[in-house]
Amino acid sequence: MGMDRNTVIGFVLIGALLIGMFVINSKSRLAYEAEQKRIADSIERFKPKVDPKIAVLDSLKADSIKNIAAGIPVNNIAEKKSVLENDLIKIVFSNKGAQPVLVQLKKFKKQNGDTVILQQGSFNQFDYSFNSAANKSAQTSKITFDGGNVTINADKSQTVTYFLGDSTGKKLTHTFTLKPADYMLDFNIGVGDNSLFNQNEINFVWQNEADQIEHDYKYEATQTHICYLENGDYDFEMIGSHDNELSFSKPVEWLSVKQQFFLTALVAKNKFRNTAIKWKVPADSSSHFLTKATATAKLEIVNGNVPLQVYYGPSDYTVLKKYGNKLENIVPYGSGVFAFVKYINRYLLLPVFNFFANNIASMGIVILLLTFFIRLLTSPILYKSYLSGAKMKALKPEVDALKAKYTDPKTNTLDQQAFGMEQMKLWRSAGVSPLGGCLPALLQIPIFMSLYYFFQSNIDLRGENFLWAKDLATYDSIATLPFSIPFYGDHVSLFTLTAVITSMLISIYSMSSMQDQSNPLMKYMPYVFPVLLLGVFNNLPAALTWYYTVSNIITLAMQYVIQNYIIDHEKILFRIKENMKKPVKQSKLQERIAAMQEQQKKIQDMKNKR
């Protein structure tokens, strides 16, 4: 839109007016501030001199004076720290908020040698409000409690108690108890007067920050979950790459922030109600924390108590199982479509692994022996697969003859339908199942997936070195690249290379014994799958890629021995010929399939005649 002369003059006048108002207001403000300073200086000259020691004491009491004005029953005391510890864990408490402020796991170290810390900083806290006076409330996290003395009990457990009370008999206590050789902290909120809370329930808030512990931030983030037990059913949510939240309509027994190998869990013996949890995710790894979670819930006061428990410790199935509250489900031994493999891990692989680990010092050798055990267990399946392949190979001349019979010499095209029907008849007459090679391979998938989960979740592998791998729980990098390759990464894992190369050798060896090699695409199959493995395995734990390397070597050896020294090809061919002489017995399903194929052949013949 254009502007005429009058419009321009109007804008100039408005601007001049605004500038003038700004200058006038600035002068007025400066004059006002000067007058206020003069008055303050005059008052200061007439104030009595204060002893510096008294001034320090008054500053220490400042928070308490504010709390007293709000009607909060507190003592004028400074912050005091107390410690509960056993052989496994050290927990530092503060009387400010009467809660843990630092949690160290004594048996576990980071790669730099520092002790693993699961809680520290101001974000990690328990908090709730209570009725401090008529029409007034206070937050426990902002109040300095009395007490804090540590008591050693008869069972060698340690207890620290904090309390808050007034002359009318109102009392609030926080009691923490740590048993010997245990990661679980008992936490009880004692309520001396129900008038402190409305509707006999506490609106509880729990904050937890999961800091980076492992070497690979990105991989640890993918293994970090929000876990919960809702009405007896376990489930979890991955933290993902965006902030998120969950709300629960049913009672919740416990909530947990689980990292790759460690977790913090809050357990409510009387269950949480109206529960919700939300979590924030940092934009990048520079923040050095994986997520910050805030949970809110209502806790019912029963007989003046709210019993809770807090677990600070490893994501160890054996340790978590003993608590009897389904915390062991947090260990991801199988999920989603492959949730069923967790039973293979729990009741087969884990006991065998523990047996070897308790008797052998090197975890690399433990994995080697576990691999031999698994291959021995699956050897009958592998034998049936190779036997089926040998039978197919023995029938190759007959199959080639059928292919020549149903190939049009003019167009050199194969009548797939007619060939398929005759091939099925040949297989049935020879007593060969077309699924004989597929089913054994499918039956090995549960073992494959169970090991995939097992080696990613087993904390016993953490920090264990073998050959060039410094930590079997993460990838074994032998070289760092100056750039990142999509789908591969910025490092070279040697165990990944050995797993891929041995996998390629298996594929090439298997291709050489295939009955049909006419499909040109099949020539490239031995290389496609190993190349995919190269990208998938490069960021996975070295324990997993070491297992696949050993497993592939054993498979190659078994293939050679079975096909050259166990399977008698002449005997197989003789049995096939004998079976072809016998009348073919078909099941009802086979009869239906044969009838459908015959019907389709008739329809196709009629179309060809037209």
Per-residue model confidence as pLDDT tens digits over 100-149: 999 999 999 988 889 999 998 888 889 999 987 777 888 999 999 999 99
- Could you give the angle at the alpha carbon of 138 between the alpha carbons of 135 and 141, nearest 5°? 170
The larger pLDDT score, comparing residue 517 to residue 370, is at: 370
Residue 220 lies in a domain: yes
Is residue 189 within 8 A of residue 306, CB to CB? The reply is yes
pLDDT (tens digit per residue) in 591-609? 666 667 667 766 666 666 6
Closest CA to 331 of 277, 258, 279, 228: 258
**Separation between Cα atoms, residue 312 and residue 17, nearest integer Å:** 66
Buried b (16+ CB within 10 A) or exposed e, 57-68: eeeeeebbeebe
Residue-level pLDDT at 195: 83
| Average pLDDT of the segment spanning 463-484 | 90
Cβ count within 10 A of residue 330: 23
The answer on pLDDT for 346 being more than 70 is yes
**pLDDT band at residue 381 under the 50/70/90 scheme:** confident
Query: Tell me, what CATH number does 115's domain have?
Result: 2.70.98.90
**At residue 433, what is the residue type?**
S
CA–CA gap between residue 466 and residue 476 (Å, rounded): 10
The domain tally of the chain equals 1
pLDDT-based confidence at residue 293 (cuts at 50, 70, 90):
very high
Residue 408, strand partner residues = 413
Task: Read off the tokens for 31.
Answer: 């004059």
Mean pLDDT, residues 321-334: 94
Q: Which helix (H) or strand (E) holds 168?
A: none
In a domain, 146, yes or no: yes
Residue pair 132/72 in contact by the 8 Å Cβ criterion:
yes
- Cα separation, 567 vs 545, in Å, equals 31
Higher-scoring residue by pLDDT: 490, 411: 490
CA dihedral 397, 401, 407, 412 (to 10 degrees): 50
Q: Is 547 within the bounds of a domain?
A: no
What DSSP element (H or E) covers 163?
Answer: strand 158-165
Model confidence at 59: pLDDT above 50 = no
Strand arrangement, sheet containing 89-94: 81-85, 89-94, 99-109, 115-119
Contact (CB, 8 A) for 173 and 79 = no
50 or 185, higher pLDDT: 185
- Name the residue type at position 334: G
Non-local (6+) Cβ contacts of 141 within 8 A are 96, 97, 99, 125, 126, 127
Asked if residue 492 is part of any domain, the answer here is no
Per the CB < 8 A criterion, the answer to whether 470 and 543 are in contact is no
Residue 451 counted as domain residue:
no
Q: Could you give phi then psi for residue 547, rounded to 5 degrees?
A: -60, -50
Four-CA torsion 53, 54, 55, 59, nearest 10 degrees: 110
- Report the distance separating Cα 260 and Cα 267, nearest Å: 20
Question: Distance (Å, rounded) from C-alpha 425 to C-alpha 82?
Answer: 82
Both tokens assigned to 455: 């080696």
Average pLDDT over residues 185-199: 90
Contact call for residues 421 and 604 (beta carbons, < 8 A):
no
- 388 φψ region: left (φ > 0), alpha (ψ -120 to 50), beta (else): alpha
Pairing of strands 184-191, 201-211: unpaired
Q: Is the pLDDT of residue 524 over 70?
A: no
What pLDDT was estimated at residue 601? Answer: 66
Q: In terms of pLDDT, which residue wins out, 307 or 242?
A: 307
Contact at 8 Å (CB) between 546 and 367?
yes
Global pTM value: 0.76
For residue range 382-417, what is the model confidence (pLDDT) as tens digits?
Answer: 777 777 767 777 777 777 777 777 787 777 777 777
Q: Give the lowest-confidence range in 156-160, 251-255, 557-561.
A: 557-561
More confident residue, 180 or 13: 180
Is the pLDDT assigned to residue 185 strictly greater than 80?
yes
What is the average pLDDT score of the chain?
Answer: 80
123, part of any domain: yes
In this prediction, residue 122 carries a pLDDT of 81
Tell the burial category of 267 from Cβ atoms under 10 Å away from its Cβ (0-12, 13-18, 19+): buried
Distance of alpha carbon 456 from alpha carbon 348, whole angstroms: 17
| Rounded CA Rg of the chain | 37
| Residue 515 pLDDT > 70 | no
CA-CA distances (angstroms) from residue 240 to 343, 358, 529?
A: 27, 37, 28
Q: Please tell me the predicted confidence (pLDDT) of residue 287.
A: 79
Q: What is the pLDDT of residue 284?
A: 79
- Please tell me the predicted confidence (pLDDT) of residue 545: 93
Please check the confidence at residue 5 and state whether its pLDDT lies above 80. no
Distance of CA 271 to the CA centre of its chain: 24
- Identify the band that residue 45 occupies on the pLDDT scale cut at 50, 70 and 90: low
Task: Write the CA distances from 548 to 356, 457, 503, 592, integer angstroms.
Answer: 18, 17, 8, 42
CB within 8 A of 534, min separation 6: which ones?
488, 496, 497, 500
pLDDT bucket at 254, cuts 50 / 70 / 90: very high
Q: Please state the φ and ψ torsions of residue 162, each to the nearest 5 degrees.
A: -120, 145
DSSP 244-310: EEEE-SS-EEEEEEE-SSEEEEEEEEEEEEEEEEEEE--SSGGG-EEEEEEEEEEEE-BTTEEEEEE
Q: How far apart are CA 396 and CA 513, in angstroms?
A: 11
pLDDT of residue 585: 59
Residue 471 predicted with pLDDT over 60? yes
Asked if 308 and 187 count as a contact pair (C-beta separation under 8 A), the reply is yes
Q: Which residue has the higher pLDDT, 26 or 1?
A: 26
Residue 578 scores a pLDDT above 80: no
The answer as to whether 281 is a domain residue is yes
For the segment 522-540, the average pLDDT, to the nearest whole number, is 77
Of the two residues 295 and 216, the one the predictor is more confident about is 295
Q: Tell me if 454 sits within 8 A of 370, measured CB to CB.
A: no
Confidence of residue 209 (pLDDT cuts 50, 70, 90): very high
Task: Confirm whether 239 is domain-assigned.
Answer: yes
Would you state the structure tokens that stand for residue 423, as one six-digit string?
């091939």
Q: Minimum mean pLDDT among 21-30, 201-210, 248-257: which range?
A: 21-30
pLDDT in tens, 294-327: 999 999 999 999 999 999 999 999 999 999 999 9
Domain that holds residue 326: 67-331
- H helices then E strands: how many in the chain? 17, 22
Taking each helix axis as running N to C, give the angle between helix 494-512 and helix 542-561, from 0 to 180 degrees, rounded to the nearest 10: 20
Q: For residues 582 and 193, what is the distance between their CA atoms, to the nearest angstrom? A: 90
Pick 535 or 312 by higher pLDDT: 312
The residues with which 268 forms a beta bridge, in sequence order, are 308
Task: Work out the average pLDDT over 332-361.
Answer: 92
Residues facing residue 491 across a β-bridge: 480
Q: What is the largest CA-CA distance in the chain?
A: 125
CB distance 423 to 414 below 8 Å: no
User: To the nearest whole percent, how much of the chain has pLDDT over 90?
Assistant: 45
pLDDT of residue 271: 94
| Six-digit token string for 308 | 């809770």
Ramachandran area for residue 17 (φ above 0: left; ψ -120 to 50: alpha; else beta): alpha
Number of other residues whose CB lies within 10 A of the CB of residue 1: 3
**C-beta atoms surrounding 217 within 10 Å:** 17
**In this structure, is the dihedral angle defined by the CA atoms of residues 386, 390, 396 and 399, taken in order, positive or negative?**
negative
